[in-house]
A and B are shown apart, each in its own frame.
Chain A
Amino acid sequence: MTATDSRSDLEIIDAINRGDDDAFAVLYHRHREWVHRLAWRFTQNQEDTLDVLQETFAYLARKFPGLTLTASMTTFLYPVVKNTAIVVRKRKRREPTLSPDTLPDRPFPEAAHPTHDLQILLRNLSDEHQEVVNLRFVDDLSLEEIATLLKIPLGTVKSRLHHALAELRQNPRIQKYYENI
């Protein structure tokens, strides 16, 4: 039902609006991995990631019936995931599960210890530069899609990407990838 469904997102949304509640599962299975990965990127914490995933799709469900998609589903979901991640992180800060004596300096222990070298390198970039690099190369979005999604001019996307890659390229660990071309 889900993996083989050839309908576009727009057709599925139309089906849900017309009363086919099962079509929501198609939409969910199609986008859940991306939402999960994005939520992880923003929270760097497995529990928070799952909270964001759940709340993002709860938000999407509340838009039915009557949702009208004016851009791609990715463009619609990105700000939802981002804002939900911020809310979840703030909520967790207010509700510490550890005693004050044992609280870590940073709220997300995993975030302080990225498991991959490239993640460490990316974290040296500004948030804005990390964002465009991830959207362009990890999520494989076009520059136009990134501009729409971030609500910034196309020229700004190009500028941010240019500066981000220039900064990355100065790192010897990145340079080795260019030497292999």
Chain B
Amino acid sequence: MANDFDQLPADLINQLRQSAQTPSSIPVELDAVILHDASSSISRRRRLRKMILAAASLSAAACLTIFGTLWFSAQSYDPDDINHDGRISIADAFTLARKQAAGDATITQQRIDQLTLASVRLDNSGGAAR
């Protein structure tokens, strides 16, 4: 930077630097206080950060568990609830019969009969007894 606005005589620069000196130095005790406070502050913030991370991880794990449980429970049906409508009824027996008619060899007539009987058996609440 050799511009006229950016140059001062070296003596003047030295004098300026001398004039800017502080009249006293930093007490050693203050050095110790500043470094101790800084160390405590950094450690505290680091611990806080770890706690926040741990809490966030736990919350995420809890959410996953809750949603997972809800999802699996929604997916698990009674083996006799063929049409997955949440109850055993004659409709399940019809569905099973249609599958058998369509050629599903794994479905026996005995299984269809059992489901038909179960769906028409009444319990005290008026629904199919299970």
Chain A residues within CB distance 8 Å of chain B? 16, 19, 21, 24-25, 28, 32-33, 36-37, 40-41, 46, 49-50, 53-54, 57-58, 60-62, 64-66, 110, 114-119, 122, 133-134, 136-138, 142-143, 158, 161-162, 165, 174, 177-178, 180-181
Contacts and interface: CB of A to CB of B under 8 A. Distances in A.
A58 B41 contact: yes
A21 B42 contact: yes
6 contacts: A33-B26, A53-B26, A58-B41, A64-B41, A119-B20, A177-B15
B13 A137 contact: yes
Contacts of A114: 19
A177 B9 contact: yes
Interface centre among B15, B18, B19, B27 (most CB of A within 10 A): B19
A119 B6 contact: no
A62 B39 CA distance: 10
B16 A138 contact: yes
Given A54-B34, A57-B34, A58-B37, A64 B17 contact: no
A57 B33 CA distance: 11
Contacts, number: 109
Contacts of A62: 41, 45
A116 B19 contact: yes
A64 B34 contact: no
Contact of A24 (B26, B27, B35): B35
Contact of A37 (B4, B20, B37, B42): B20
A115 B24 CA distance: 13
A118 B46 contact: no
B74 interface: no
B35 A25 contact: yes
A165 B17 CA distance: 16
A114 B27 CA distance: 22
A62 B48 CA distance: 12
Contacts of A180: 9, 11
A19 B23 CA distance: 37
Contact of B16 (A24, A46, A64, A137): A137
A145 B18 CA distance: 22
